Structure 1
């Protein structure tokens, strides 16, 4: 018995829907892979930058502590003053973290994930 025209159209329609769904799934997969690779590359680059900045900060702190120690004729005093400076910075950061730091970090992460520049 030959297929009816309606049955053939239904099969074609179902075939097109299956192809559309498969294409949509593949597009979603490729888009996710693209976003993930961009995010990972950005995080690796940022990690190298943070490490370089931390090393710079460490050596600058040592240099400043030694300089202050030399001025005061006591390296212990120089390192103590720098330690007190960092303690004060830590206390200020702790008291303002909810208002400023947490919001900044959340915004930064959202921008990284969605690859947006600026605010």
Structure 2
């Protein structure tokens, strides 16, 4: 291909937010986190990965943690709620299973169960 590379992308359920070197890191990460959290991250087009230059990784994690940690968790019928319930106990268990495989948790982590579901 004369110095070029082929790129294949699966656009259903495995979307990545790609942040380049010259981006405003705080604005880009903040927008990425907000978008990823729509519908508690349970949409087929939610961003599941945040790709940043290696030199910006720790800063991006810190920004993402602050953004996610500042979200108001709760009942989706409460107008102040920014991040609602996951759809079922089974789905909440799958989150726990994913965390058990070793990713670094940067905010939250304690399960709360309300009368309407799992947070």
Same fold (TM over 0.5): no
TM-score scaled to structure 2, two decimals?
0.22
Larger radius of gyration: 1
TM-score scaled to structure 1, two decimals?
0.22
Bigger helix fraction: 1
